[in-house]
Amino acid sequence: MTKHVLFIVTNAAVIGPHNRPTGFFFAEVAHPFDVLDKAGVAVEFASPAGGWTPFDAYDEKDAAQKEFRGSKAFRRLNRSRRLCEVNAADYDAILIPGGLGPMVDIQRNREVQSAIVRAWTTSKIVSAVCHGPCSLLGVDLGDGTPFVRGKKVTGFSKKEEYDYAREDVPFELEDALTGEGAIYSSAANWEPHVVVDGRLITGQNPASAGPLAQELLAALRKQG
């Protein structure tokens, strides 16, 4: 039976006081798509506004990125469905890629939060990488307790942000996650690091996108 994963992708093309160009970080969609597609997993794309999804940091020397850029899937991505028209429970997992864009329109977005709640409460897998875990902030399963409280997570670290986009982001993701009670961990800057806590799978940075997808694939196979 084919498994289905919903990628929830940013529509934000700029961020911060200096209008820094942004979007999703290309590798963080291309690498997970490559892993899942080659395993026969069906991937669909949604975004808060639907339609076009701007991207950042495309590297044509990366075979997976180049292949994805020329694929039918990439064209589908740029005709993404509006998230409000999608039921996350119809998928076996959701994945929120990073880039700086999610810090604009994914974090504390009610429709994104609803998708996470819907996926979680129907026993599906929730995964996010790099700045994508900002989607977990403010999520409440109904009892007033932050979703991440007591859960092991990772995401783009303060150390990494310091040399990357400290002046552009509205807050430090690491601080925000720990502020809601998450048990945060990280590896050295730009080194792969994935944390699996039951059905919650998070990755630290772009280098973690492929490894996160491998963990997601393993979890999908365990679902039966």
pTM exceeds 0.95, yes or no: yes
Compute mean pLDDT per 10 residues along the chain, 224 residues long, and list them.
Answer: 96 98 98 98 98 98 98 98 98 98 98 98 98 98 96 98 97 98 98 98 98 98 89
Q: What pLDDT does residue 89 have? A: 98
For residue 189, the one-letter residue type is N
Q: Domains (ranges, CATH) in the chain?
A: 4-223 (3.40.50.880)
Distances (CA, A) of 198 to 34, 60, 109, 145, 161: 23, 35, 24, 18, 27
